Homo-oligomer: A and B are copies of this chain.
Amino acid sequence: MSTSKTVRKVEVLSPVPADIDIANSVEPFHISEIAKDLNLSPKHYDLYGKYKAKVLLSVLDELEGSGDGYYVVVGGITPTPLGEGKSTTTVGLCQALGAFLDKKSFNKLSNHLHMYQFTGNWYMYTYVKQLPLCKAMLEIWYVFLTLLCKEKVKRAVKLAQVVTCLRQPSQGPTFGIKGGAAGGGYSQVIPMDEFNLHLTGDIHAITAANNLLAAAIDTRIFHESTQSDKALLNRLCPPNKEGKRNFSDIMFRRLKKLGISKTKPEELTPQEVKKFARLDIDPASITWRRVMDVNDRFLRKIAIGQGPEEKGMVRETGFDISVASEIMAVLALTTSLADMRERLGKMVIGNSKAGDPVTADDLGVGGALTVLMKDAINPTLMQTLEGTPVLVHAGPFANIAHGNSSIVADKIALKLAGPGGFVVTEAGFGSDIGTEKFMNIKCRYSSLTPQCAVIVATIRALKMHGGGPEVIAGKPLDRAYTTENVSLVEAGCVNLARHISNTKAYGVNVVVAVNMFATDSEAELNAVRNAALAAGAYDAVVCTHHAHGGKGAMDLGIAVQKACENVTQPLKFLYPLDISIKEKIEAIARSYGASGVEYSEQAEKQIEMYSRQGFSGLPICMAKTQYSFSHNAAEKGAPTGFSLPIRDVRASIGAGFIYPLVGTMSTMPGLPTRPCFYDIDLDTATGKVIGLS
């Protein structure tokens, strides 16, 4: 076993044990060790227990002048029930770059340099015992060895830091069907129970903030219904100890919006009192729902206010799962505390009866929401199984929101990785959902430029896209998926090819990662490689990080390094912001293969309203099934010629996008008859979590 402080050599077993058993088999490094490796000063992070730390935004100020690392985004082909292993590949790639290929090991200096043969190639890698030697000596040693064995040894990446940026998973599904989301096999984030549950409380903060705003809405409608304009004003501006009435700071935001420049409540005309004190919210227009981080289907549609004290003000509404809250989208897209304050304040909860948008600041609660979110803005530092650093931050819903981890985490990671280093971030689902939103929403707001996009595929998923038989949970997998069938693979590559060309259009180099299963044949793997290169991929490589950890993704690491170093084009968005909402929707629809777009009456009405309210300059976040390029989840492969139906259009003004609904999206999952929780328990003697998958 290696005794390096933060590169952990994990002993790999075959067959691969259960994820929680692998996670529990290693003792994680104290997170301050991981921080130290990143040259992160203790003043720039706060510990949360032994294995988590919140990295403070102050580090961005300190590193403002320094350069960024390479920026790599990992997406997938169109998902199938078989899974592709995007998170696992993201982690595996970083372990390869950071723990096996990275000369952080060299950097600290090694007294063991190993030659390692894997998938037909020789790799040189090292692990560190105790002796720290100087970096220069190691570099010389490295160059010498590279020259000596140049035919046999692939050139490893340059001395580099590698940071993985992942979304925080929703806690609800962990107890439902899905289980955890920390990667899998020998490519995981640890401790996996802390990753999947609570983490550092960010989602809890979102729940609290979202629901405080919801309570403020109904209570305000209630109080307005029973009070005169004058009484409302008097209650809103109570006399202080000296008997004087004043506006609070947040009220000046509303006064400014209303064009009222008076500074004392008593100066307002009766007309101004009405405009200021009466929000006059139209209950039917309220789009703000309550949230909970639990799979509770019975809360999807509820009637509230049925108690006698609420005087018959019953209203139909519902709960979404917390990660579907606009506040989660705000967290993912914000760039600073001040920016978050503004975004939270301008979130629109519905309209006044006159049709004007009503915001959180109109309700007086934007500041309190910011206070509730002030720690959540700091990303959480964790580690992979092999000891490379991970920033976990934000996890917005990938359909009604943009499904990417946070801008601040990526920004911090790019500075910490530094020139020559790598930041690998994941974009949920296929390029139609994850990467499209990564480029056109996230990169637009962050001004960051990726160099390389990895597209993860599996032979079995491609077979399904090629027309393979349906997969039914609980039934054995059809033989088509476990025995060689090159033509099925080739047929499925149309899906991969469209993801490659769509992604390449942004100006990045595309590397295809084939996440290998034991049943995949050489011919099948070659078919994918050929199809990928034909479709314009920079490279296509096979990897086995699930079974082998970072070692299994070394080829991928080398390909990604080369792809990053050889970018020839600038970043190109799919659409400019200054065209109409409809033109933007149509540009995206074309990238799906659609020949046109159909708008419902409701969608037309909403587009007209948002345009009138001045929101047409926002980017578009399509709420569409992830299971097909089209709106029909059953259409695998690469459908064309369909007309994309837009059922409704909504807006997340604080987060900063318009989201057209293509079909019906469930925003609150349910529990099955036998949820995952049946297996989950605590070993009360050791304090360890058991049964988490």
Contact = CB atoms under 8 A, between A and B. Distances in A.
B682 A208 contact: no
Nearest to A203: B204
A684 B315 CA distance: 36
Of A201, A250, A674, most buried by chain B (CB within 10 Å of CB) is A674
Interface string A352-394: 0000000000001111101110110000000000000000000
B300 A303 contact: no
A299 B218 CA distance: 10
| Number of copies of this kind of chain in the complex | 2
A374 B680 CA distance: 12
Contact of A306 (B216, B295, B301): B301
B673 A197 contact: no
Interface string A202-217: 0011011001101110
A46 interface: yes
A681 B251 CA distance: 12
A171 interface: yes
Interface stretch (A48-56, A541-549, A614-622): A48-56
A597 to B, nearest CB: 27
Nearest to A677: B368
Nearest to A476: B243
Contact of A215 (B48, B227, B294, B684): B294
A300 B310 contact: yes
Contact of A674 (B54, B236, B375): B236
A677 B212 contact: yes
A232 interface: yes
B371 A671 contact: no
A309 interface: yes
A633 B295 CA distance: 41
A48 to B, nearest CB: 5
B296 A214 contact: yes
B198 A204 contact: yes
A235 interface: yes
Interface in A164-214: 171, 175, 193, 197-198, 201, 204-205, 207-208, 211-212, 214
Nearest to A686: B337
A298 B303 contact: no
A670 interface: yes
A684 B340 CA distance: 9
A625 B337 CA distance: 43
B294 A300 contact: no
A665 to B, nearest CB: 13
A292 interface: yes
Interface in A314-362: 315-316, 318, 336-338, 340-341
B309 A304 contact: no
Interface in A452-500: 474
B310 A198 contact: no
Contact of A250 (B207, B374, B681): B681
A249 B681 contact: yes
Interface string A644-678: 00000000000000000000000000111111011
Given A49-B47, A678-B250, A681-B249, A371 B300 contact: no
Nearest to A299: B304
Contacts of A271: none
A302 interface: yes
Contacts of A340: 684
A208 B293 contact: yes
A593 interface: no
B46 A235 contact: no
Nearest to A683: B337
A132 interface: no
A264 B219 CA distance: 54
Contact of A677 (B54, B306, B367): B367
B47 A368 contact: no
Nearest to A295: B215
A70 to B, nearest CB: 31
A693 B1 CA distance: 55
A246 to B, nearest CB: 11
A526 B574 CA distance: 81
B250 A212 contact: no
A40 interface: no
A24 to B, nearest CB: 14
A113 interface: no
Contacts of A293: 208
Contacts of A670: 219, 309
A372 B294 CA distance: 12
A687 interface: yes
Given A235-B673, A302-B306, A297 B219 contact: yes
Contacts of A675: 216, 219, 364-365
Contacts of A298: 215, 218-219, 222, 304-305, 310, 313, 315
A249 B49 CA distance: 30
A18 to B, nearest CB: 12
A119 interface: no
Contacts of A248: 678-679, 691
Interface of A: 46-50, 54, 171, 175, 193, 197-198, 201, 204-205, 207-208, 211-212, 214-216, 218-219, 222-223, 227, 232, 235-239, 248-251, 290, 292-307, 309-310, 313, 315-316, 318, 336-338, 340-341, 364-368, 370-372, 374-375, 474, 670-675, 677-682, 684-685, 687, 689, 691-692
18 contacts: A46-B47, A46-B48, A47-B47, A198-B375, A201-B201, A207-B207, A211-B296, A216-B677, A250-B681, A300-B309, A302-B303, A341-B681, A364-B675, A364-B677, A365-B677, A367-B677, A368-B681, A370-B682
